């Protein structure tokens, strides 16, 4: 019996056999009971009935003898013969239904007595014919009546014998039925108990391997892939266990190989990270240090063992960098970078801190990588360059002033009259000196801002005040150029936090550019809007526009559009200065433009709380 199916079938078959045994016993017993009752009725009751009928027939025969002897011989004889036939009919039934001991003797006795009774009647007839009625009656009383009584006694005995047998049969039937009841009851109880224990035993036996399999499955689910079931049956559960064991073995092999690969990859990545020449630190979402490299240890003078799991600020004591990292998370940008001065080991460094956010499986944040790119040398070079430009520009200023002054005096003919050719040359010198002065002024302004030497004085101002102040000086020039210039601000706007001078400089630059690149009939508008704690200021014109390929670098230094239609009218530094100023205000600046449609420059400033609710306050440099 190998399969579970055959085992279950065997149990069912055993139960069916038990039920069949109980059923057969019950049927056999019922059958024998019904047979006993049948016998009771058919054998004994038939004999009792026959005996009663014989007794009735002999009574009538006896009456017929008396009728024959004393009243009417013919009718008496006929009645005698009729009842004789009746008697014999019941006698034959009785004779063929002998069932009890002693019954045969009684039948033979009845037969002998009845035969004698008939022969005595024959003799009585002879006496009646030969001697008359009285002798016949005497013969009857003397000879026939005793025989008649004997027959009746025998018939009574026969009836009694059968009645007794009937009672005996009834008793034995009752006894049989009682025994059958007990037997069937006993068998049913045995079958019930046997069936219960058989099914309980077999259910337990079949299910115990499943319980052990479930137990092993739970351990595997909890991660212990080293588990195997010890079920060794050959049935379906045994096969299932075998397949399960194979599966866990494969899983274990897979896990071991995947883990091995993972470790290998991790070690590789670790080696790469460790050997990166720039300091690198990996943080978790609570800004605790998860990993750092050798360069980080060196530059920040820390040890990995003491820093792992500690807060970032314990490794890099620089609140500005930490603010930049935490603000990078809220901005939801993948990478951001910014240059910070850092002091370590009495040395000044400049680091371009590059922040990369790492997303987990559920696309939520799982970590932060901060790389500290050492740009100290670049910064130093830039400083040298800025200082150099500043010095050169400064050195240019004095001779330029003398040139401008000299040419001015010459042009005014203070030193004598000039011919037209001389005037033409001096005018050219004046124009070039003008352009050079502008360049020097812009360069000085830019180097001042870039080097951080420019001081900002942040205060709260109504934005329309700044705009009005910036637009005013251009009305005349605009009118001259036949360009319509106007400004509009949303009503009830919050004040902005700004350096009045610098933002005026920004607006001047943008408006003067707009005027430079517009023609008669064009329009320039300056507008302001408030949204999300910011004020958006836009300078828009309907001028020549900027080609698309320039838009991405229009705020870079020395970038100028030169498409031939317009002669270059500036230094290419104005927008670079503008961007530096807006950056210092923690704002953004952008440009939208289409050729022959116009350009629009928008920058943002931080909106302050309303003046009527808070006192005006100054913001330090």
Binding residues for ligand ADP, rule: CB under 6 A, are: 509, 513-514, 517, 541, 543-544, 546, 554, 559-561, 570-576, 599
Q: Taking the complex as a whole, how short is the minimal distance between the CB of residue 481 and ligand ADP, in angstroms?
A: 13
Q: Taking the complex as a whole, how short is the minimal distance between the CB of residue 541 and ligand ADP, in angstroms?
A: 5
Q: Which is nearer to ligand ADP, 1 or 597 (CB)?
A: 597
Residue 376: HSE in the Cβ half-sphere, 13 Å Cα cutoff: 12
Q: Which is nearer to ligand ADP, 169 or 509 (CB)?
A: 509
DSSP string, 456-503: --BEEE-HHHHHHHHHGGGHHHHHHHT-EEEEEE-TTPPPEEE-HHHH
CA nearest 591: which of 577, 579, 573, 580? 579
- Residues found in the chain: 621
Report the C-alpha gap between 247 and 213 in whole angstroms: 13
Q: Which is nearer to ligand ADP, 125 or 571 (CB)?
A: 571
- Going by C-beta distance under 8 Å and a sequence separation of 6 or more, which residues neighbour residue 523? 483, 484, 485, 486, 541, 542
Q: Which residue is nearest to ligand ADP (CB)?
A: 570
Cβ pair 100, 160 in contact under 8 A: no
Strand 534-541 to strand 523-531: parallel, antiparallel, or no bridges (unpaired)?
antiparallel
Q: Which is nearer to ligand ADP, 441 or 501 (CB)?
A: 441
DSSP H helical ranges for 132-235: 133-139, 145-221
Residue 531 has what DSSP assignment?
A: E
Q: Taking the complex as a whole, how short is the minimal distance between the CB of residue 398 and ligand ADP, in angstroms?
A: 23
CA nearest 133: which of 143, 144, 125, 145? 125
Q: Taking the complex as a whole, how short is the minimal distance between the CB of residue 376 and ligand ADP, in angstroms?
A: 29
Report the C-alpha gap between 167 and 36 in whole angstroms: 12
Q: Which is nearer to ligand ADP, 319 or 564 (CB)?
A: 564
Q: Which is nearer to ligand ADP, 135 or 572 (CB)?
A: 572
Q: Taking the complex as a whole, how short is the minimal distance between the CB of residue 384 and ligand ADP, in angstroms?
A: 24
Cβ pair 546, 593 in contact under 8 A: yes
Q: Taking the complex as a whole, how short is the minimal distance between the CB of residue 359 and ligand ADP, in angstroms?
A: 39
Q: Which is nearer to ligand ADP, 237 or 443 (CB)?
A: 443
Exposed / middle / buried, residue 508 (Cβ in 10 Å: 0-12, 13-18, 19+): middle
Q: Which is nearer to ligand ADP, 491 or 567 (CB)?
A: 567
Q: Taking the complex as a whole, how short is the minimal distance between the CB of residue 352 and ligand ADP, in angstroms?
A: 25
Q: Taking the complex as a whole, how short is the minimal distance between the CB of residue 266 and ligand ADP, in angstroms?
A: 50
Q: Which is nearer to ligand ADP, 248 or 509 (CB)?
A: 509
Q: Taking the complex as a whole, how short is the minimal distance between the CB of residue 573 and ligand ADP, in angstroms?
A: 6
């Amino acid at each position: 019996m190998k399969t579970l199916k055959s085992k279950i079938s065997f149990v069912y078959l055993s139960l069916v056999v038990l039920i069949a045994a109980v059923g057969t016993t019950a049927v056999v017993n019922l059958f024998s009971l019904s047979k006993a009752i049948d016998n009771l009725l058919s054998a004994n009751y038939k004999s009792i009935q026959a005996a009663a009928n014989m007794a009735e027939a002999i009574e009538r025969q006896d009456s017929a003898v008396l009728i024959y002897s004393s009243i009417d011989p013919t009718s008496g004889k006929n009645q005698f013969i009729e009842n004789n036939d009746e008697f014999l009919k019941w006698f034959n039934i009785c004779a063929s239904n002998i069932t009890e001991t002693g019954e045969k003797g009684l039948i033979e006795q009845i037969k002998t007595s009845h035969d004698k009774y008939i022969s005595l009647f024959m003799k009585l007839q002879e006496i009646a014919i030969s001697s008359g009625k009285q002798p016949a009656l005497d013969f009857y009383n003397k000879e026939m009546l005793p025989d008649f009584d004997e027959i009746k006694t025998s018939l009574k005995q026969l009836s009694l014998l059968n009645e007794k047998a009937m009672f005996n049969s009834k008793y034995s039937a009752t006894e049989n039925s009682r025994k059958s009841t007990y037997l069937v009851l006993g068998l049913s109880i045995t079958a019930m108990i046997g069936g219960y224990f058989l099914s309980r035993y077999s259910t337990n036996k079949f299910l115990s391997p499943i319980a052990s399999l479930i137990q092993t499955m739970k351990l595997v689910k909890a991660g212990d892939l080293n588990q195997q079931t010890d079920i060794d049956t050959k049935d379906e559960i045994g096969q299932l266990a075998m397949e399960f064991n194979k599966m866990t073995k494969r899983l274990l092999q897979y896990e071991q190989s995947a883990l091995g690969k993972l470790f290998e990859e991790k070690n590789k990545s670790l080696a790469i990270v460790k050997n990166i020449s720039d300091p690198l630190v990996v943080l978790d979402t609570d800004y605790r240090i998860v990993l750092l490299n050798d360069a980080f240890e060196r530059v920040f003078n820390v040890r990995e063992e003491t820093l792992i799991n500690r807060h970032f600020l314990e490794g890099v004591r620089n609140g500005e960098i930490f603010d930049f990292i935490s603000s990078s998370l809220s901005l939801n940008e993948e990478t951001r970078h910014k240059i910070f001065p850092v002091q370590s080991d009495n040395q000044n460094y400049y680091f371009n801190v590059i922040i990369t956010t790492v997303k987990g499986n559920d696309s939520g944040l799982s970590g932060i990588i901060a790389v500290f790119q050492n740009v100290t040398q670049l910064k130093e070079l830039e400083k040298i360059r800025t200082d150099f430009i500043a010095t050169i520009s400064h050195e240019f200023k004095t001779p330029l002033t003398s040139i401008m002054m000299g040419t001015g005096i010459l042009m005014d003919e203070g030193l004598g009259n000039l011919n037209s050719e001389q005037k033409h040359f001096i005018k050219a010198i004046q124009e070039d000196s003008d352009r050079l002065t502008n360049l020097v002024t812009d360069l000085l302004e830019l180097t001042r801002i870039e080097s951080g030497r420019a001081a900002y004085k942040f205060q709260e101002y109504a934005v329309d005040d700044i705009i009005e102040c910036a637009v005013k000086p251009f009305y005349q020039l605009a009118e001259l150029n036949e360009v319509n210039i106007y400004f509009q601000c949303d009503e009830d706007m919050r004040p902005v936090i700004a350096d009045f001078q610098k933002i005026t400089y920004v607006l001047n630059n943008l408006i003067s550019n707009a005027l430079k690149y517009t023609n008669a009939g064009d329009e320039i508008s300056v507008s302001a809007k408030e949204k999300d704690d910011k004020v958006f200021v836009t300078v828009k014109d309907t001028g020549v526009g900027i080609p698309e390929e320039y838009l991405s670098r229009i705020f870079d230094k020395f970038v100028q559009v030169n498409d031939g239609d317009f002669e270059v009218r500036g230094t290419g530094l104005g927008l670079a200065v503008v961007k530096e100023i807006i950056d210092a205000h923690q704002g953004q600046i952008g440009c939208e433009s289409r050729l022959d449609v116009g350009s629009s420059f928008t920058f943002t400033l931080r909106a302050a709380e309303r003046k009527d609710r808070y006192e005006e306050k100054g913001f330090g440099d």
